[in-house]
Amino acid sequence: MRYVMKGGNPLAGEVTISGAKNAALGILAAAIMSDETVTIENLPDVRDVAVLLDAFREIGVLVDRVDRHTVKLNGGNIFTACADNPSIRKIRAGYYLLGALLGKYHHAEVAMPGGCNIGTRPIDQHLKGFRLLGAVHENNNSRVILDAKDLHGAHIYLDMASVGATINLMLAASLARGTTIIENAAKEPHIVDVANMLNSMGAKIKGAGMDVIRITGVEKLHGTEYTIIPDQIEAGTFMMAAAVTKGDVTVKRIIPQHMDAISAKLLEMGCEVIEQGDSIRVVGRPTLYSCNVKTLPYPGFPTDMQPQMGVALCLAEGVGTITESIFENRFKYVDELSKMGADTEVKGSIAIFKGSGPLKGAELVAPDLRAGAALVLAGLAAEGITVVDQVDYVLRGYEDFDKKLQGLGAEIRLAETDEDVKKIKFQIS
Ligand code: UD1
């Protein structure tokens, strides 16, 4: 799949942000820990969610997709604690089934996690935590197998504030005997959302959103109805789209506080950023100014917004840098930007952007999910036509990305075949 676009239109108007993908994946896993029905609203309609729901069906979860953004799940008929199919191997968040199934059945067998190739992405912190909770772990046929005779509370210190490990351990510890303390926990908005969801099912989790989370295990979790928070990264991507196309975009139905690190950088770069209730309006200016950015765990600048920021720095006046401190392999998109005429250099974990002025349309390949979205922003800011290949990555995490951009005035279409690409190029040029 490819996106074909013609750059140059300043994006303008309003865009409604979908539910948070990364929160949804944790929340779906939490939902199957109850034998009662759980209703989840504001579910984003993205591929990663569809894949996880398919994996649920295969182990016996009753999945009722009430409408595009609502699902009812019932985990009362699960017949196996083994989740392994080709799809689950493609997504990262399959690993949440480890915590969910271990908590509920004291046994879990899950295909090794896949996801974007943005670094080695080990799961040693998840496994360390599970072991401390009483599980024995082995790897077999590239599956992670966990087994616990007695799942009990534990004091767990994470070596790094891992989002995945924090969620996975909250899941398992919610049904463990006694109290678990997770120190150096991740604080991302979706950690808080998963904790709130588990608490609405009867779990006892305190401190989510802070460095130390305390979980008192309960006997069982009951049904609930829960609405997922808005997607911080989707919102940030559209805010950046306004900046790079010198447009005027209002992102609606968001939690502005989650956007603070991104808003601060856009202000520093000379954009106008106006908070209005549950919306933020970003007005791009004729000149963007460079800045230095370092990715950090929340509330720092999110690594998932790093490539989009890289595009903005290509178009800014002066020299800007990005220091990537979370994943070691997240600058692959920089080579793609060079094809558009960007003057950039990567030295280890630092990328240097020498604000090179206008980008030129080019044939690009998306190296991963967020970088794919960033290359689309580059194409919309560039002169002429850009084709971004391998956008299946983007579809994993952005709902209706092309349609939402079209709603803001972007010339962008999704193409499946070479013929489609030719036709769209002809129509939009
Ligand atoms: C999640 C998000 C991803 C986001 C990332 C950081 C999901 C499905 N994915 O990924 O979009 O980019 O948070 O905000 O929610 N680490 C270890 N050992 C572990 C776990 C992590 O060394 O056991 C390292 C990782 O390699 C990385 C850092 O810790 O360098 C942070 O990773 P983590 O927060 O766990 O990211 P994910 O949960 O994989």
What predicted TM-score, i.e. pTM, was given to this entire model?
Answer: 0.96
Same fold, 2-18+230-428 and 21-227: yes
Q: State the pLDDT confidence band at 354, using cuts at 50, 70 and 90.
A: very high
127 to 28, 51, 143, 215: CA distances (angstroms): 21, 23, 13, 18
The lowest-confidence range among 113-117, 198-202, 316-320, 418-422 is 113-117
What amino acid occupies position 81? A
Residue nearest ligand 1's atom 33 by CA: 162
Among residues 347, 315, 314, the alpha carbon closest in space to that of 331 is found at 347
Residue nearest ligand 1's atom 4 by CA: 304
Specify whether domain 2-18+230-428 bears CATH 3.65.10.10.
yes
What amino acid occupies position 194? V
What span, in angstroms and rounded, lies between the C-alpha atoms of 228 and 117? 26
Structure tokens, 387: 């084709």
Q: Is 72 helix (H, G, I), strand (E, B) or coil?
A: strand
- The β-bridge relationship of strands 143-148 and 155-157 is unpaired
CA-CA-CA-CA torsion sign (368, 369, 371, 376):
positive
168 Cα–ligand 1 center, Å: 12
Which fold is adopted by the domain 21-227?
A: UDP-n-acetylglucosamine1-carboxyvinyl-transferase; Chain (3.65.10)
Beginning with the edge strand found earlier in the chain, give each strand of the sheet holding 213-216 in spatial order. 155-157, 179-183, 213-216, 204-206
Q: Ramachandran region of residue 142, left (φ > 0), alpha (ψ -120 to 50) or beta?
A: left
Q: Give φ, ψ of 341 to 5 degrees.
A: 100, 5
Residue nearest ligand 1's atom 32 by CA: 162
Residue nearest ligand 1's atom 39 by CA: 164
Kindly give the number of the ligand 1 atom that is closest to the alpha carbon of 160. Answer: 29
In this predicted structure, the answer to whether residue 114 has a pLDDT above a threshold of 70 is no
Residue nearest ligand 1's atom 20 by CA: 123
Q: What's the pLDDT score for residue 92?
A: 78
Q: What's the pLDDT score for residue 333?
A: 96
Is there a cis peptide before residue 299, judged by omega within 30 degrees of 0?
Answer: yes
Beginning with the edge strand found earlier in the chain, give each strand of the sheet holding 135-140 in spatial order. 82-83, 107-111, 143-148, 135-140
Q: State the pLDDT confidence band at 85, using cuts at 50, 70 and 90.
A: confident
In this predicted structure, the answer to whether residue 296 has a pLDDT above a threshold of 80 is yes
Give Cα 18 distance to the centre of its chain: 12
Q: What proportions of the chain, in percent to the nearest 5, are helix, strand and coil?
A: 35, 30, 35
Which of 116, 271, 291, 314 is labelled catalytic? 116
What span, in angstroms and rounded, lies between the C-alpha atoms of 268 and 290? 8
| Contacting residues for 265 by C-beta, under 8 A, at least 6 apart | 291, 293, 301, 309
Q: What's the pLDDT score for residue 142?
A: 81
What span, in angstroms and rounded, lies between the C-alpha atoms of 330 and 222? 40
Residues 248-293 have pLDDT tens digits of 999 999 999 999 999 999 999 999 999 999 999 999 999 999 999 9
H-type alpha helices, 144-251: 163-174, 189-200, 232-244
Q: What's the pLDDT score for residue 115?
A: 57
Q: State the pLDDT confidence band at 368, using cuts at 50, 70 and 90.
A: very high
Question: 236: number of CA atoms within 13 Å, CB side?
Answer: 27
195 Cα–ligand 1 center, Å: 18
373 in Cβ contact with 307 (< 8 Å): yes
163 Cα–ligand 1 center, Å: 6
In this predicted structure, the answer to whether residue 119 has a pLDDT above a threshold of 60 is no
Q: State the pLDDT confidence band at 168, using cuts at 50, 70 and 90.
A: very high
What span, in angstroms and rounded, lies between the C-alpha atoms of 238 and 399? 12
* Cβ count within 10 A of residue 159: 10
Q: What's the pLDDT score for residue 192?
A: 98
| Contacting residues for 42 by C-beta, under 8 A, at least 6 apart | 18, 19, 69, 227, 228, 229, 230
Residue nearest ligand 1's atom 31 by CA: 162
Q: State the pLDDT confidence band at 1, using cuts at 50, 70 and 90.
A: very high
Kindly give the number of the ligand 1 atom that is closest to the alpha carbon of 128. Answer: 23
Q: Is 74 helix (H, G, I), strand (E, B) or coil?
A: strand
23 Cα–ligand 1 center, Å: 13
420 Cα–ligand 1 center, Å: 37
H/E segment holding residue 204:
strand 204-206
160 Cα–ligand 1 center, Å: 9
149 in Cβ contact with 79 (< 8 Å): no
Q: State the pLDDT confidence band at 88, using cuts at 50, 70 and 90.
A: confident
Q: Give φ, ψ of 312 to 5 degrees.
A: -60, -40
Residues with CB under 6 A from ligand 1: 22, 25, 92-93, 119, 121-126, 160, 162-165, 186, 303-304, 326-327
187 in Cβ contact with 298 (< 8 Å): yes
| Contacting residues for 202 by C-beta, under 8 A, at least 6 apart | 218, 220, 221, 222
Mean pLDDT, rounded, of the chain: 95
| Site of tokens 């206008």 | 358
Residues 214-223 have pLDDT tens digits of 999 999 999 9
Kindly give the number of the ligand 1 atom that is closest to the alpha carbon of 161. Answer: 34
155 Cα–ligand 1 center, Å: 21
Among residues 193, 233, 271, 263, the alpha carbon closest in space to that of 373 is found at 233
Instruction: Give domain limits for the chain.
Output: 2-18+230-428, 21-227
Kindly give the number of the ligand 1 atom that is closest to the alpha carbon of 188. Answer: 14
Q: Give φ, ψ of 286 to 5 degrees.
A: -55, -35
Q: What's the pLDDT score for residue 109?
A: 94
Residue nearest ligand 1's atom 13 by CA: 163
Q: State the pLDDT confidence band at 116, using cuts at 50, 70 and 90.
A: low
Q: What's the pLDDT score for residue 120?
A: 62
Q: Mutation test of ligand 1: which of 162, 233, 396 has the most ligand atoms closer than 8 Å to its C-beta?
A: 162
The lowest-confidence range among 131-145, 299-313, 359-373, 402-416 is 131-145
Residues 33-83 have pLDDT tens digits of 999 999 999 999 999 999 999 999 999 999 999 999 999 999 999 999 999
| Contacting residues for 90 by C-beta, under 8 A, at least 6 apart | 51, 114, 115
Residue 351, judged by CB atoms within 10 A of its CB (0-12, 13-18, 19+), counts as: buried
Kindly give the number of the ligand 1 atom that is closest to the alpha carbon of 190. Answer: 15
Is 82 a known active-site residue? no
Q: State the pLDDT confidence band at 29, using cuts at 50, 70 and 90.
A: very high
In this predicted structure, the answer to whether residue 122 has a pLDDT above a threshold of 90 is no
For residues 405-409, average pLDDT: 98
